[in-house]
Structure 1
Amino acid sequence: MTQRRTVRSRLERLAREIAKFGAVGAIGFVVNLAVFNLCIHGLHLAVVRSGVIATVVAIGANYVGNRYWTYRDCDRSRRSRELTLFLLFSGVGLVIENGILALSHYGFGLTSPLADNVAKNVVGLGLGTVFRFWSYRTWVFRAIPAREAVETAESFLAEAPEHVGARR
């Protein structure tokens, strides 16, 4: 019975994580889509250049959302390592996303605005998102080891004002 609860608890936690990651991703998608189309149609930049610019802007928005909401309870002790890995794996996702766009636009000759948006913002972004989710949760936003989490909580409660300690 306890093993069942453990599995259920893990699945519920994973479902919450996926939902938060998806919500942050949805905001990133809107940013990505808007910047991509602004660069192409408003600034008349090349397709792949527009895709890279849009992805970089969305990566910034996604980092803030994932760090401070999706993975806010994860280890923060090595922030520079976290940011470096985030940028590395986001860069791989950028290559996946915009590689699909380049293949579609230049390789297959599908050059309409609809084809460019589908290649980049549906196929490329979809594959890049699966890669990013796996890499972020595996390498970037790592959970605090249980012993360290307890020590952190105990030290917080010991240093907290008396009205917080009174709730115990």
Structure 2
Amino acid sequence: MLVNLLVFNLVRHVTDLQVVRASVIATVVAIVFNYVGFRYFAYRDRDKSGRTRELVLFLLFSAVGLVIENGVLYVATYGFDWNSPLQNNIFKFVGIGVATLFRFWSYRTWVFRALPPGEAVADAEAAPERERDERSRAGQRVP
């Protein structure tokens, strides 16, 4: 959310782009940050097989979130003529909130799926051996 709002306001102040176009740029930048954050931090323990499928679903659900988020801003700006900088930020924030609810559900349900219980246990038990093999291949001393 912070990246999204910062980029949105930066683009609005530095360029002459219309509000929704600036918002779309900010949302795309935030989507890139979100993928990195989710894959390598929040859901790093989730199933890592099928990265192509994961990325396609992530981008699909992110695009739906982009439409939701910027649709709220579009309606407020062009439908109700609420177009001051404060109003733009308020409705950008509201749009982010609504889209975040959708994205959270879809990412957790469809994109970053949990490993089945049996696989999760087997994966955890195999982790030390995998680490030892990786160190051995890298030429590091293996205890």
TM-score by length of 2: 0.87
Residue 34 of structure 1: how far off its partner (Å): 1.4
Q: Which deviates further from its counterpart, 109-118 or 146-155?
A: 146-155
Among 51, 55, 63, the alignment partner of 1:91 is 63
The corresponding residue for 1:132 is 103
Equivalent residue letter for 1:154 = E
1:74 matches 2:43: no
Please give the alpha-carbon distance, in whole angstroms, between the structure 1 residues aligned to 2:84 and 2:12: 12
Unaligned runs of 5+ in 1: 1-28, 164-168
Provide the secondary structure at the position in 1 that maps to 2:55.
helix
The corresponding residue for 1:145 is 116
Deviations 1:65-105 (A, max 9, x none): 11111101000001111111111111111101100000000
> What is the Cα-based RMSD across aligned positions, in Å?
1.4
Among 64, 69, 73, the alignment partner of 1:101 is 73
Unaligned runs of 5+ in 2: 133-141
Considering Cα pairs closer than 8 Å and 6+ residues apart, tell me whether 1 or 2 has the greater RCO: 2
The corresponding residue for 1:8 is none
The corresponding residue for 2:137 is none
Provide the secondary structure at the position in 1 that maps to 2:44.
coil
Aligned residues: 134
Identity, % of aligned positions: 60
